[in-house]
Structure 1
Amino acid sequence: MVVIAVLVVLAGALGAVARFAVDSAVARRWSTTISWATVGINVSGSFLLGMLAGAVALHSAPDAWQTVVGTGFCGGYTTFGTAMVQAARLARSGRTTAAAVGLAVTLGASVVACAGGFTVAASV
């Protein structure tokens, strides 16, 4: 149990570093009202989590994978809290349409990506 906890911590740290790297790279290239980096991070993390859930549920992958990679890496990588803060800031500044679009795209695309990841795992 202690080994799993340490692996979750390490995977979470790797996920957070990956999120920072992706967010920084995208923000340097494109400056827009909606943070597409945050959307992309959440969507790609949801896809990975769907694949992982499919591997565990359908292909007898070890449950520890879901704990370490799902909770650790994906938990550190995805950033729904940041998406909510960004939407709240947009709404407070009067850009409610941009806030609503950002939230809708993040939520909708993340659910579709997770289902897509599960489907990919099911077809392997």
Structure 2
Amino acid sequence: MTWLLVIAGAAIGAPARYLTDRLVQARHDTVFPWGTFTVNIVGSFTLGFLTGAVTAAAVGPNVQLLIGTGFCGALTTYSTLSYETLRLTQTGARFHAIANLAATIIAGIGAFYTSTALTQAIWH
């Protein structure tokens, strides 16, 4: 049962990642990887909200497996972040490479923190 929940979440998260990345990137005429940035921040926010909900006992471990491990695991992508940052560096866009790393880390942690604070306001 556990692995089915992870698979079900991933089956939604992986296409959501691809489609979101393509949709967002198509709207920006820049070398900055806005699509990957977007899915990573949305994933961080979602995982933070879920973590807060689990901590508050508002949802159980099965939801955590489905959404946290499955969906967020397939939605977010550290490997693509690494690849795109390296590609930016290799093409001479060093500012964009540094901005990509810094913005992703800062915004990701900020999104996670904000969403866990939101869950505390809702369930505590």
TM interval, shorter chain, is: over 0.9
What does residue 111 of structure 2 align with? Answer: 113
Map of 1:76 onto structure 2: 74
Superposed CA offset, 1:15-49 (max 9, x none): 00111111111122213111111111100110000
1:101 equivalent to 2:99? Answer yes
State the TM-score, normalizing by the size of structure 2.
0.93
Identify the residue that residue 56 of structure 1 maps to in structure 2.
Answer: 54
Confirm or deny that 1:24 pairs with 2:22: yes
Gaps of at least 5 residues in structure 1 are none
Partner of 1:87: 85
1:13 aligns with 2:40: no
User: 5+ unaligned residues in a row in structure 2: which ranges?
Assistant: none
What's the secondary structure of 1:59's corresponding residue? coil
Q: Distance in 1 between matches of 2:39 and 2:6?
A: 19
Question: How far apart, in 1, do the equivalents of 2:54 and 2:20 lie?
Answer: 27
Identity of aligned residues (%): 34
Shift of 1:60: 4.3
- Paired AA for residue 113 in structure 1: A
Q: In the aligned structure 2, how far is the partner of 1:101 from the partner of 1:4?
A: 38
Normalising by structure 1, we get a TM-score of 0.93
Q: How many matched pairs?
A: 122
1:22 maps to a residue whose letter is T
Give the SS at the match of 1:42.
helix
Distance (whole Å) between structure 2 residues aligned to residue 56 and residue 101 of structure 1: 33
Distance (whole Å) between structure 2 residues aligned to residue 106 and residue 122 of structure 1: 24
- State how 1:38-57 maps to structure 2 within 5 Å: 38-57=36-55
1:52-91 Cα offsets, whole Å, 9 max, x none, are: 0000012342122212210100000111210110000111
SS in 1 for 2:56: helix
